[in-house]
Chain A
């Protein structure tokens, strides 16, 4: 088991970060009826951990007995029936799923599946909550229609069903949904918080941490706790005992993107563009989300770029990121960005060096 999972706090009391939020949530859950919740914040900040802890607080240990279900839903949508296959985690008390996995058919998921689930109201025995909890991940990736029908579902079935929504950016969730939930923002943990978590894990694992080592990992983690713990474990696997000058490796795909960036800086030609395309394909094969590729590529390029070009390059990156969301095939847009960058950079080189 990875340390990320192993040292995940199970209950609200044991939270190492966001203790304040945890305390409030506990009060909320134990003392009153729970409203719909919307957790948002950057990735690796502990949203899911909090959600699991809340569930445990609500339903006790029963919420931890989950099984993985790969269920095919037959949805009758007017003239035709749609088969949707969706993976979900469920216990007797809650169901967790990623509706955005269904792609553009997500609205059916939201409408039908949630409706059906919400209808099966658990029997209200003593000491049990009279509702089920539905955990929806990546709500911000849902389409407008899906979010719209989500709102209806929330109103209609609020008696028997509580929704816990989880997303990175609340700005992509419609106002209507947001106003029906209790919004909980989970900040990215501060670096010293991360350090303290790492030290805690180190102590539990019985590891000797040289001074400043945890700080370096934390600095590289981009304030993502998950990231920090993962690279901590990676370092442990690479070399133990730790040395002070130990390299903390970035993820392999990040390395690969920086390779691509240096390829782009080296030469600007259609041929090179073709080579870059091949490398981008490889990232896509490994399911690295295109948005993340573009973001990372931009930051790698910016590192090496003259200050006067930065603004323009950022503009085009934003432009093509938007395009990518509108479009279907990400490679078209990433490639267009790369080509634009090449063209800008080449013009710049010619202007400065003749």
Chain B
């Protein structure tokens, strides 16, 4: 292994626009040059991972080409394998472990063996087909595209690289060029270089791949090596048009390509991108599949295999991390092995931090429980933990459905207080509410409004006391939320009070959520409830509208030198005017007022708020009037 020739498709930035226009297959014999240029083209994309450190490494250790060339052969994101590169020496280099312990062979991959096997089979088959049959005229390879999806950091690219190395195939990659800055663009415009959008570049690349599939082979001369095309990073598209173009482009590629092509698509957790990009990706996948691509989904790496790898790294690096700590890191990584390794390195970098954490005082089982039940006070795990995000509605659903364990959990152990029978609640089937809240990024006011609107649906019909408990907690939350109104309101004070207010907000959200969870001790049997958006907002708006209307009419209608206060207008004058205006049209002004107010009220949310009742009321009124 390690002898794979990496062919680089460099479609570079616009600084060297000439190159980008004639981006071509280039490959070089010189290994050191190859790796350096490779790094350069990749580094921008992976700056967050390697940064300048890796480049440093390349330069400082330029002599030992063979050893690190092997590393770079598989320069991709999975990190499952490790090569022993003289541990002590490596400790001092600034290399990130993620790059250092890249998997190089199939055995080092931590992706599930079967998944790897499937991908390998597929590639093998295509390659055999390609190498043997391709020269026969009229023969068509039908299904040459493999689509691999999965969340970030689970070793998609690493798998492909490892397999390619294993099969001795050459990997051609499409690397998305770095975005052009506006200044760069201006600079280039002056120097007469035409701007080319990334999507254009990608399109022309695909075009070339389709038209001249054999070109690289003749160039390199090593014609016996089969080629695998890897499209790792699809260009980012904004808007419908760009998306359509990309879709078409890929579709055509999937249809016509003759080289085995692997397309990697990273699935983001659905909630992370609020917009509809996830939808687009799904659509893209299905369109590719319809073009005959086969799809393989990678699952997140299991905790056990992450643990195995982490402990191996620890051994290599000779840092003593306890089993529990590794366990914690593995758990909090959420199946993202790249993240797990990075946090392990970070963790080992700061031994002081590690010792200050009183982990040793906790028994193993207890610390585990702490993780499950009280992750909030576990600041240590949060330090390295991958923060999961939740959508607001997901969080609301959790609170409203109020799922609890069937039996009293034993997890609380010592901190079990003696509570009155009616105050005891079963433990939650979820994290602490505050944590869920912080994951959902919900504003307290918003949360309270939503809970208020929806909670009654979830309380069983018999339990009015629960309804009261919930309502009373919500009322408490509302009081907390409006503390800034009763306090001093001058802007100077506001800025200094900001912290305080923030705490009030947090407290209010907590009170609202916990109140709902606690109060609803008899949840109605779970069935489908849709979560409504608070009608309160609507009510507030139309109330405001009516208020301005009253204010406007207050003067004209009463036509006196008196301005009535709002409450008087609303409670006494308006109803009276309605009566009077209906029958006696003596005053033109009153009539007008009535008309306009009537219209406004019809147009507003009267009917939507409670259709039947209003109508019934209106009819009553009319009936009684007409009787006389």
Contact = CB atoms under 8 A, between A and B. Distances in A.
Partners in one complex: yes
A278 B613 CA distance: 10
A315 to B, nearest CB: 14
Q: Which 5 A-B pairs have the closest CB atoms?
A: A336-B471, A328-B482, A339-B468, A327-B478, A287-B570
Given A104-B485, A145-B489, A292 B471 contact: no
Main SS of the interface on chain A?
Answer: helix
A145 B452 CA distance: 31
Contacts, number: 231
B566 A8 contact: no
B133 interface: no
Contacts of B499: none
Interface in A191-246: 226-227, 230-231, 233-234, 237-239
A252 B621 contact: yes
A238 B583 contact: yes
Interface of A: 1-2, 4-5, 8, 43-44, 48-49, 52, 63-64, 66, 68, 77-80, 87, 89, 91, 96-98, 101, 104-105, 107, 137-138, 143, 145, 226-227, 230-231, 233-234, 237-239, 249, 251-253, 256, 268-271, 273-274, 277-279, 281-282, 284-289, 292, 320, 323, 326-329, 331-333, 335-336, 338-340, 342-343, 346-347
Interface centre among A233, A286, A292, A320 (most CB of B within 10 A): A286
Interface centre among B462, B465, B560, B589 (most CB of A within 10 A): B560
Bin chain B's interface residue count.
35 or more
Contacts of B463: 270
A64 B554 CA distance: 17
Contacts of B550: 287
Contact of B609 (A2, A8, A281, A292): A281
A342 B467 contact: yes
Interface stretch (B239-247, B315-323, B393-401, B574-582): B574-582
Interface centre among B470, B559, B570 (most CB of A within 10 A): B570
A100 to B, nearest CB: 9
Contact of B474 (A63, A78, A332): A332
Contacts of B353: none
Interface of B: 448-449, 452, 456-457, 459-468, 470-472, 474-479, 481-482, 485-486, 488-492, 535-536, 539, 542-543, 546-547, 550-551, 554-555, 558-580, 582-584, 587, 589-590, 601, 604-606, 609-610, 613-614, 617, 621, 624-625, 628
A336 B565 contact: no
A84 to B, nearest CB: 13
A8 B543 contact: no
A143 B617 CA distance: 37
Contacts of B542: 285
Contacts of B475: 320, 323, 327, 332-333, 335-336
Interface centre among B467, B477, B550, B573 (most CB of A within 10 A): B467
Main SS of the interface on chain B?
Answer: helix
Contacts of B610: 278-279, 281-282
A274 B455 CA distance: 10
A269 B572 contact: no
Nearest to B562: A48
A155 B246 CA distance: 74
A292 B571 contact: yes
A237 B579 contact: yes
14 contacts: A2-B558, A4-B558, A5-B559, A79-B492, A101-B566, A249-B579, A270-B460, A278-B609, A279-B610, A285-B604, A288-B567, A323-B479, A331-B452, A335-B475
A230 B625 contact: no
B580 A87 contact: no
Contacts of A340: 468, 471-472
Given A285-B542, A285-B605, A89 B561 contact: yes
A279 B471 CA distance: 17
B580 A273 contact: no
Given A64-B561, A284-B543, A289-B566, A77 B491 contact: yes
